[in-house]
């Protein structure tokens, strides 16, 4: 499995069509999706999964308002449940010759919290649409629960992968064997607990991310009275004692978590409610997405935003750092990494090759 910062052929998105994950904020979320597309098309193709004709009309309308150019946008009519592409989309691996395989891991909506029958078939359906080979894997795994350095090391959490709501029949050794066999890793690093407000049982993409072969950024909390403080300190302690696949110690960079972010209203998922404040959402700077030309970084209208931007600039000096307010998006309990999934570059496509339907921003041009 290549590292996220390695060259992409494209990014996959699933356009939202069900407002239950963003009650009261759905229209704002559609505008955020269009902004994501606008930023990504500068550096790579974007494949957008479209549920039905109504969703297609809504997507085109929003992208037109966002001044999306459209030449690199491809729409694919595949029925789906929700829009968390990182978790229901394919995990794409490739061999030394650049040949890709779309892996279709089992998916159960984070332990059966939502319906998932359509999303569980997404990787194979998209692979067929794109003319790519696919392979079924008989273990539940979401893309947000792992991160790799592209050299043979994978990082994950005990909180998620060892949770009995995923693979109760598998031992830790069994799970590690699946990761080695299908993702080509040989060194698996385990963190502990996840972030407050997370409904995924502790996805690692809200905690710690590789930004280089031996470099990890991780979030910390500086308030000893905050519930995140102790688990984050434990994760930091573990990271500082970890090594890469060649036995070299990791370089660990820290980003201070923003102050707790609360949203009032009807909770879209299982979440912790604080009287007088609302529901705490998993506000994390670690949920960034590294695209070919830019890095989409969630920010929170917090004084810590500027420091997070500076750290990502140092990690990715050749890319634009794009800070986008994620408070409305994360009312659905995920951010930019959760809604994207990369297709790593493989062989060079022949001139004029296209797949899917190129986006027509104006009906007269279609």
Q: Give catalytic residues, as residue numbers.
A: 338
220 with 240: CB under 8 angstroms? no
Please give the full DSSP string across 214-238, using - where no structure is assigned: TEEEEEE---TTSTTHHHHHHHHHH
Please give the full DSSP string across 39-67, using - where no structure is assigned: HHTTTSEEEEEE-SHHHHHHHHHHHHHTT
* Chain mean position to CA 118: 19
CA separation (Å) from 190 to 65, 159, 282?
Answer: 43, 9, 20
359 with 74: CB under 8 angstroms? yes
Six token digits for residue 147:
């991160």
Placement of tokens 């500086």 in the chain: 222
Radius of gyration of the chain (CA): 19
> How many Å apart are CA 292 and CA 294, to the nearest integer?
6
Sheet holding 294-299, edge to edge: 289-290, 294-299, 320-325
> How many Å apart are CA 361 and CA 98, to the nearest integer?
33
In a 3-state reduction of DSSP, which class is residue 341? strand
Sheet holding 187-191, edge to edge: 147-148, 153-157, 187-191
């Amino acid at each position: 499995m290549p590292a996220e910062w390695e060259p992409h052929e494209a990014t996959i998105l699933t356009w939202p069509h069900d407002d239950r994950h963003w009650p009261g904020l759905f229209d704002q979320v559609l505008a955020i999706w269009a902004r994501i597309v606008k930023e990504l098309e500068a550096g790579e193709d974007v494949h957008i999964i479209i549920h039905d004709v109504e969703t297609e009309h809504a997507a085109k309308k929003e992208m037109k308002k966002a001044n999306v150019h459209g030449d690199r946008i491809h729409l694919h009519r595949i029925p789906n449940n929700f829009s968390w592409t990182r978790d229901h989309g394919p995990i794409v691996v490739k061999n030394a010759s650049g040949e890709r395989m779309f892996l279709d891991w089992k998916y159960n909506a984070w332990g059966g919290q939502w319906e998932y029958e359509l999303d569980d078939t997404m990787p194979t359906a998209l692979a067929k649409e794109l003319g790519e080979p696919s392979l079924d894997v008989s273990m539940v795994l979401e893309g947000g629960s792992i991160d790799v350095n592209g050299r043979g090391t994978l990082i994950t959490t005990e909180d998620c992968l060892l949770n009995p709501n995923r693979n109760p029949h598998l031992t830790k050794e069994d799970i590690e064997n699946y990761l080695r066999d299908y993702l080509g890793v040989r060194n698996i690093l385990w963190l502990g607990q996840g972030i407050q407000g997370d409904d995924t049982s502790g996805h690692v993409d809200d905690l710690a991310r590789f930004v280089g072969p031996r470099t990890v950024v991780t979030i910390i909390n500086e308030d000893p009275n905050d519930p995140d403080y102790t688990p984050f300190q434990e994760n930091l302690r573990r990271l500082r004692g970890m090594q890469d696949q060649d036995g070299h110690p990791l370089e660990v960079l820290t980003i201070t978590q923003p102050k707790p972010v609360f949203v009032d209203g009807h909770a879209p998922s299982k979440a912790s409610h604080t009287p007088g404040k609302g529901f705490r959402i998993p506000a994390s700077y670690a949920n960034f997405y590294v695209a070919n030309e830019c890095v989409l970084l969630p920010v929170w209208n917090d004084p810590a935003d500027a420091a997070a931007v500076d750290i990502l600039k140092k990690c990715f000096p050749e890319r634009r750092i794009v800070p986008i307010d994620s408070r409305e998006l994360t009312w659905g309990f995920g951010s930019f990494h959760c809604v994207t999934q990369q297709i790593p570059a493989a062989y060079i496509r022949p001139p004029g090759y296209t797949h899917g339907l190129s986006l027509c921003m104006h009906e007269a041009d279609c």
